[in-house]
């Protein structure tokens, strides 16, 4: 059969192309996609041509082979229904709702082992947030927040909001979030942040000091995707604090002022990326355990209210242009698939 698949053909250029799908082989299934989520972080860098072309798209996902060079298929948050299987012994999969780390397309064929059944009681609109929820769990693992800590967080996109949602359930002294866009700040306050600050305000520095205290934050997350925010995150972190860097900047350079108090402050910068577990955790944690925990918390958080826009696949160019040009108007943008 022919599938309709999104292809990134060049900077800020996307096309919907027909792609011939083979029938599923034994141990495989075909999925009719209902919706897929667009990442306003890594995916927008790919769209803008700001991702390193020679970097592997994802070394851990069979659905993203090759590099980030154009043309390429990308995306990793597909929700759909199994409509065919490779062997009759797998018929019990037919009709099952599944999540998959797959690029945007109306249909795909994948190994059954790469399909994640959606638990009963989890709506499709919530399930599309699974990948981002797993990232939020990974960020908590890497930051290891302690009871009573003061936490600052740059960036309240979907990853930031999900991470803040989990942190807000801990007995922290305070959780202060920073974002340029009013819609995101309002969502942050609604989920339980102590304060949500606008870095563009003239009194921002004084307000941040008042919100965190003179000693600064114990733990800081940089999730904004803005290279300039890392310097600000370091500046707000107190002595012997730690900064978890969850943003990916792609090919954009980062300029840091490390010539002042940085070394004497003994601040630690920790890289966080969801594809692999911290080796310190692998004695107890596996990716399967982390994913199961993400499903559990996804059911509790129900983040579908953060979906602000829906576009049919054929209107994908409009969806990316909206995210690129008007991030202040969006939280989560999803693609939908008529006839599937």
What's the CATH number where 175 sits? 3.40.50.720
- Residues 109, 24: contact at Cβ < 8 Å? yes
Instruction: Clarify whether residues 63 and 96 are in a common domain.
Output: yes
DSSP string for 293-332: HHHHHHHHH-GGGGEEEEEEGGGHHHHHHHHHH-GGG-SE
Residue 190 maps to a domain: yes
pLDDT tens profile 193-248:
999 999 999 999 999 999 999 899 999 999 999 999 999 999 999 999 999 999 99
pLDDT-derived band at 255, boundaries 50, 70, 90: confident
Beta strands 217-222; 174-178: pairing state: unpaired
* Helical residues (DSSP H) of 76-128, grouped into ranges: 124-127
**For residues 268 and 136, what is the distance between their CA atoms, to the nearest angstrom?**
20
Instruction: Clarify whether residues 119 and 16 are in a common domain.
Output: yes
Q: Does the pLDDT of residue 267 top 80, yes or no?
A: yes
Residue 293 maps to a domain: no
Instruction: Clarify whether residues 111 and 7 are in a common domain.
Output: yes
- Residues 304, 125: contact at Cβ < 8 Å? yes
Q: Which of 273, 241, 240, 243 is nearest to 256 (CA)?
A: 243
Instruction: Clarify whether residues 145 and 260 are in a common domain.
Output: yes
pLDDT tens profile 32-57:
999 999 999 999 999 999 999 999 98
Residue 248, phi then psi, degrees to nearest 5: -115, 125
Instruction: Clarify whether residues 110 and 138 are in a common domain.
Output: no
Residues in the chain: 340
Omega within 30 of 0 (cis) for the link into 71? yes
pLDDT tens profile 92-112:
999 999 999 999 999 999 999
Instruction: Clarify whether residues 76 and 36 are in a common domain.
Output: yes
Q: What average pLDDT does this structure show over 263-290?
A: 94
C-alpha triplet 173, 177, 179: angle, nearest 5° = 170
pLDDT, residue 258, reads: 86
Residue 320, phi then psi, degrees to nearest 5: -70, -35
Q: Which of 83, 106, 116 is nearest to 35 (CA)?
A: 106
User: What range does the domain containing 55 cover?
Assistant: 2-123+302-336
Instruction: Clarify whether residues 181 and 215 are in a common domain.
Output: yes
Residue 128 maps to a domain: no
Domain containing residue 112: CATH number: 3.90.180.10
Q: What average pLDDT does this structure show over 11-28?
A: 96
pLDDT, residue 88, reads: 87
pLDDT, residue 340, reads: 60
HSE on the CB side for 43, CA within 13 Å?
30
Q: What average pLDDT does this structure show over 136-164?
A: 98
Q: What average pLDDT does this structure show over 70-91?
A: 95
Q: Does the pLDDT of residue 161 top 90, yes or no?
A: yes
pLDDT, residue 260, reads: 79
Residue 18 maps to a domain: yes
Instruction: Clarify whether residues 269 and 140 are in a common domain.
Output: yes
Q: What average pLDDT does this structure show over 125-129?
A: 98
Residue 287 maps to a domain: no
Give 266's DSSP letter: T
Residue 266, phi then psi, degrees to nearest 5: 55, 35
Residue 294 maps to a domain: no
Q: Does the pLDDT of residue 182 top 90, yes or no?
A: yes
Instruction: Clarify whether residues 22 and 117 are in a common domain.
Output: yes
Q: Cβ contacts of residue 48 below 8 Å, gap of 6+? A: 11, 12, 324
Instruction: Clarify whether residues 109 and 141 are in a common domain.
Output: no
3-state secondary structure of 87: coil
- Which residue is listed with tokens 């990853």? 159
- Residues 224, 248: contact at Cβ < 8 Å? no
Q: What is the mean pLDDT of the chain?
A: 95
Query: For the chain, what is the domain count?
Result: 2
Q: Does the pLDDT of residue 339 top 80, yes or no?
A: no
pLDDT, residue 48, reads: 97
Instruction: Clarify whether residues 105 and 145 are in a common domain.
Output: no
Residue 116 maps to a domain: yes
Residue 14 maps to a domain: yes
Specify the pTM. 0.96
Give the helix/strand (H/E) hosting 34. Answer: strand 28-38
pLDDT tens profile 58-78:
888 888 989 999 999 999 999
């Amino acid at each position: 059969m022919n599938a309709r698949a999104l292809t990134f053909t060049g900077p800020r250029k996307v096309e919907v192309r027909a792609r011939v799908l083979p029938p599923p082989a034994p141990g495989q299934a075909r999925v009719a996609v209902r919706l897929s989520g667009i990442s306003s972080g890594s995916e927008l860098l790919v769209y803008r041509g700001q991702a390193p072309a020679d970097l592997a798209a994802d070394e851990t996902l069979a659905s993203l082979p090759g590099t980030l060079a154009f043309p390429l298929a990308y995306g990793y948050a597909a929700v759909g229904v199994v409509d065919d299987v490779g062997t009759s012994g797998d018929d019990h999969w037919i009709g099952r709702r599944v999540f998959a780390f797959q690029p945007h397309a109306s249909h795909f064929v994948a190994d059954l082992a790469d399909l994640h059944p959606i638990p009963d009681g989890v709506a499709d609109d919530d399930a599309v947030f699974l990948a981002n929820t797993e990232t939020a769990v990974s960020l908590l693992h890497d930051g290891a927040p302690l009871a009573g800590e003061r936490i600052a967080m740059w960036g309240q996109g979907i990853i930031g909001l999900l991470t803040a949602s989990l942190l807000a359930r801990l007995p922290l002294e305070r959780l202060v979030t920073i974002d340029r866009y009013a819609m995101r700040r309002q969502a942050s306050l609604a989920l339980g942040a102590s304060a949500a600050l606008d870095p563009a305000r003239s009194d921002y520095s004084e307000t941040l000091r008042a919100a965190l205290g003179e000693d600064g934050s114990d733990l800081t997350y940089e999730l904004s995707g803005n290279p300039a925010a890392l310097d600000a995150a370091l500046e707000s972190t107190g002595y012997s604090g730690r900064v978890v860097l969850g943003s990916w900047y792609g090919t954009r350079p980062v300029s840091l002022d490390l010539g002042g108090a940085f070394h004497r402050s003994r601040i630690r910068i920790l890289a966080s990326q969801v594809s692999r577990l911290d080796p310190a955790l692998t004695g107890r944690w596996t990716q399967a355990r982390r994913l199961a925990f993400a499903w559990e918390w996804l059911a509790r958080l129900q983040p579908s209210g953060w979906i602000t826009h829906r576009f049919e696949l054929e209107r994908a160019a409009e969806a990316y242009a909206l995210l690129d040009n008007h991030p202040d108007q969006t939280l989560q943008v999803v693609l939908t698939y008529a006839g599937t």
